[in-house]
Amino acid sequence: MSAKVITVTQDSAPTRLPVMADVARLAGVSHQTVSRVLNDHPNVAAPTRTRVLAAIRELNYRPNSAARALASKRSKTLGVVSFDTTLYGPASMLYGIERAARSADYFISIVSLSSMARRSVLEAVERLREQAVEGIVVIAPQISASGVLAQAGDGVPLVGAGCGLTERVPLVAIDQRAGAAMATRHLLDLGHRTVHHVAGPASWLDATGRIAGWRSTLEGAGAPVPEPLSGDWSARSGFELGQRIAADAEVTAVFCANDQMTQGLLRALHEAGRRVPEDISVVGFDDIPEAAYFIPPLTTVRQDFGELGRRALELLVARLAGNSGPPGQVLIQPELVVRASARPVARA
């Protein structure tokens, strides 16, 4: 049996990717000059920089990020530990952080958890450390995770986003109490005797913060404080609780802890023949993109997740730069967006 002969021509041989030395040779400069241009060093003459960039484009040169990380001892990668990104709040936080990281010229490595139990959070942080991330942002909206952050931050710079207060970890969060107070005060100012509340699950920091803001505003106004009804953030739970609210003829105003539950509430009120806002005024929380298209358009509290992402990255980058001051705690103020779902109470 004759042997099979394979002829390898120059065209069929693997093409070698260009390296920094090729760029330096084509541009007529040193290896160090190419490195300075790639790192945007100011001490490079404009004509030289132009020549190096032209050589990079001509060769289609792409820096080897792994090699650069080894040489500089910097990976330019940040880790994010996130929770249940199907929910609007955590998903929007994640998007805001990712966009801010991209603007700051960092890559993002994400670990998404179905549970924020202590062991899960610690394992996620350890996994990111193994990837040589320079720092970590933890989106930890559940009470069970807030106490873990101080321990998880040992050995790697860490910032919490949307978390409970702690003395050892820098934090960025939206002021949930203030947002709930805005919503409740708006309804009281419209003349309603009191405001009923559809709350989120008690295991969530956002839910407890909104209950606190709602309750303190009613107490400060000398208004009755009804027992809050707790849902699970879903439209289904809002609908089920809305059926109970619709059956109470005394209810004239409802503050709902998120817009998805508000959607279910509005349907329950509609099916029961309770008109919004003629019979019951309703205010939500989050200002999801669909809120302006509810029937009626929803008055709600807007959270600036883009600002949260930017401020979280600023805190983390400051720690990476060696800022060893006390942990910062940044509260971002929400905004009340007034639409058509709430109006002055009808007087007999």
- Full set of structural domains in the chain with CATH: 20-63 (1.10.260.40), 75-174+305-333 (3.40.50.2300), 176-303 (3.40.50.2300)
Using alpha carbons, list the distances in angstroms from residue 145 to 81, 119, 139, 266.
Answer: 11, 10, 9, 33
Using alpha carbons, list the distances in angstroms from residue 190 to 186, 195, 217.
Answer: 6, 11, 14
pLDDT tens per residue across all 348 residues of the chain: 444 443 334 444 446 788 888 899 999 998 789 888 887 777 899 999 999 999 988 888 876 654 555 454 567 899 999 876 678 888 888 888 888 888 888 899 999 887 777 788 888 888 888 888 999 998 877 776 666 776 665 678 889 888 765 557 788 999 999 999 999 999 999 999 999 999 999 989 899 999 999 999 999 999 999 999 999 999 999 999 999 999 999 999 999 999 999 999 999 999 999 999 999 999 999 999 999 999 999 999 999 988 998 899 888 988 888 776 666 788 999 999 999 999 998 765
> How far apart, in whole angstroms, are the C-alpha atoms of residue 109 and residue 94?
11
Residue 94, both tokens: 């994640």
- DSSP code, position 291: G
